[in-house]
Amino acid sequence: MLAHARLADATAPPRPYSHTTAMTTISFIGSGNIGGTVARLSVAAGYDVVLSNSRGPQTLTDLVQELGPRARRLPRPRRRQRAS
């Protein structure tokens, strides 16, 4: 784990994109054995990754720090309030 790794989330400004560059971000729903492994391989291949899971963004902290600046996590979606 890198001590100096920056913890990013989906509210961070997007990376620059132009029509001459290919999209290089892969999103994962699930960060268990398979999702975590594919995310590691994706970062090693030069892709940016966005991670999400059912347990909430706080459980992704270690994995995002391990993956470094190419990884970020999605925040938990806000719950809609019921109309009264």
pTM of the model: 0.64
What is the reported pLDDT for 36?
Answer: 93
Where are the chain's structural domains? 25-73
Per-residue pLDDT tens digits for 25-76: 999 988 889 999 999 999 999 999 999 988 888 899 999 999 999 999 988 7
DSSP state of 73: E
Confidence (pLDDT) at 20: 57
pLDDT at 1 exceeding the cut of 60? no
Q: CA-to-CA distance for 80 and 67, rounded, in angstroms?
A: 32
Position 5 scores a pLDDT of 41
Smallest CA-to-CA distance from 54 within 78, 29, 80 is with 29
pLDDT the model gives residue 73:
92
- Identify the CA nearest to 45 among candidates 59, 61, 24: 24
Cα separation values, 36 from 28, 49, 64, Å:
9, 10, 10
* Residue 3: predicted pLDDT: 36
Q: How many CA atoms lie within 13 A of 5 on its CB side?
A: 18
According to DSSP, residue 9 is labeled B
